[in-house]
Amino acid sequence: MPNRRTFLKNLSSGLMVMGSGVLLPRHAWADAFSISPPTLPDGDMAESILASLPGKNPLIKRTYRAPNYETPVEYFNQMFTPNDSFYVRWHLSGIPDKLSATDWRLKIGGDSVNTPIELTLDNLQNNYEHVEIVALNQCSGNRRGFFQPHVAGVEWGYGAMGNARWTGVRLKDVLNKAGIKKDALEVTLNGAEGPVIPQTPDFIKSLPLWKALDENTILAWEMNGEPLPHLNGFPVRLVVPGWTGTYWTKMITEINVINKPWDGFWMRIAYRIPIGKFAGIDRFVSQERPTDTMTPITEMVVNSLMTNIRNGQRFHLGQPVEVKGIAWDAGRGIRLVEVSTDGGYTWREATLGKDYGNYSWRQFSYGFRPTKKGRYDILARATNRAGSTQNFELIWNPAGYHHNVVQKVSVDVV
């Protein structure tokens, strides 16, 4: 396995390419077809509305209370997802107004710290080494809307994800300041929002100690060189590279180091996958009781997305077709992207773009010149350095996680 501890990069700001790539004119996003895969039943996507949240460009609205809005695929032609178009995912509707950066406090405590501490934003920014990492934030349920049979939950299309450059300090450094006792097992994470009715469990997540101490796990106050948007967690959120978005606690206010498994609803019941159904990913073993058949979701699975072509698009015979997209995994790194233009009979290697570290997505491109008229079924499939690849058939699971079925886009050459 490649050394996964070396991916933190001190990227110079010169590497920032916000605004690179091609943005389609705004009206193009209204074309629901561009976000509608062929397998979705009619209606699902037609009901989706582009809507503005405060401080955001129009996003695809899935639910309003709590706010769940996804990024239109066109934005994924850019290496970094712009902050004002970055998807938004909340569980509870009691989200506070933007917190005051001066009043915000982060409490570090729990039975397994030596000295509980309370930090201001100033403390955080001035007492620990700053680090930057490019990392993909993807919701566990991205693409849930394509599950057959259908499952309950936010009916995401392709856009519950985004790639950004995050700036902050290592969680490890902050925890070490409080001092970690020998019996420490898990680290719980809580944000400022609360449930609106007391019956709803507060959104509290936990990480195994080893992942909390991973040098890539950071408390971030900036994405893409700007303060976090309110709905992406201002002033500080956790960034857990490689693991699905559920652990990336926004508006974080409380962290506890504990010596037992955290058994709140969002760990014990929600965000679980069947044990053994997904190969080659981290297990969160302290969360598994002997009789459990389900285990917490952890790492993202290898996946890819074509971003510049859409179903039904027309090309003229003799015109070159350039297929562009992105591929990612949980941090082993993308080794290969293959593209088929004949529905999967033959495959060719795509060219990979610049490497921004293993936790970033990787751009790819593949050009071809169609030699006859007709329909071309274009497929893309990514493989990582551990040899894991995308599935042709859905690995169904009750909560609708880890959809990484090879995508097909059918275009017409006329």
Ligand X SMILES: Nc1nc2c(c(=O)[nH]1)N[C@H]1C(S)=C(S)[C@@H](COP(=O)(O)O)O[C@H]1N2
Q: Which residues bind ligand X (CB under 6 A)?
A: 86-91, 137, 139, 191, 193, 203, 232-233, 245-246, 248-251
Smallest gap from residue 155 Cβ to Mo ion (A): 13
User: Given candidates 83, 85, 190, 246, which one binds Mo ion under the rule CB under 5 A?
Assistant: 246
**CA end-to-end span of the chain:** 47
Smallest gap from residue 179 Cβ to ligand X (A): 26
Neighbouring C-alpha atoms within 13 Å toward the C-beta of 66: 18
Among ligand X, Mo ion, none, residue 248 binds (CB under 5-8 Å by kind): ligand X
What DSSP state is assigned to residue 370?
A: -
Smallest gap from residue 249 Cβ to ligand X (A): 5
Sheet harboring 186-191: ordered strands across?
A: 117-119, 106-109, 252-258, 186-191, 204-208
Among Mo ion, ligand X, none, residue 250 binds (CB under 5-8 Å by kind): ligand X
Smallest gap from residue 327 Cβ to ligand X (A): 20
Q: Which is nearer to Mo ion, 206 or 246 (CB)?
A: 246
Cβ atoms within 10 Å of 351's Cβ, excluding its own: 10
Strands (E), 246-297: 252-258, 272-274, 294-296
Shortest CA distance to 207 belongs to which of 175, 232, 229?
A: 175
Among Mo ion, ligand X, none, residue 298 binds (CB under 5-8 Å by kind): none
Q: Which is nearer to ligand X, 87 or 364 (CB)?
A: 87
Among ligand X, Mo ion, none, residue 163 binds (CB under 5-8 Å by kind): none
CA pair distance 399, 404, nearest whole angstrom: 14
Beta bridge partners of 138: 161
Among Mo ion, ligand X, none, residue 191 binds (CB under 5-8 Å by kind): ligand X
User: Given candidates 245, 325, 331, 370, which one binds Mo ion under the rule CB under 5 A?
Assistant: 245
Smallest gap from residue 211 Cβ to ligand X (A): 15
Degrees, nearest 5: CA angle 92-248-407: 95
139 is a contact residue toward Mo ion (CB under 5 A): yes
Smallest gap from residue 411 Cβ to ligand X (A): 30
Among Mo ion, ligand X, none, residue 88 binds (CB under 5-8 Å by kind): ligand X
Residue 14 burial by CB count (10 A; 0-12/13-18/19+): exposed, middle or buried?
exposed
Which helix or strand (DSSP H or E) is residue 210 part of?
Answer: helix 209-212
71 is a contact residue toward Mo ion (CB under 5 A): no
Sites of contact with Mo ion (CB under 5 A): 139-140, 245-246
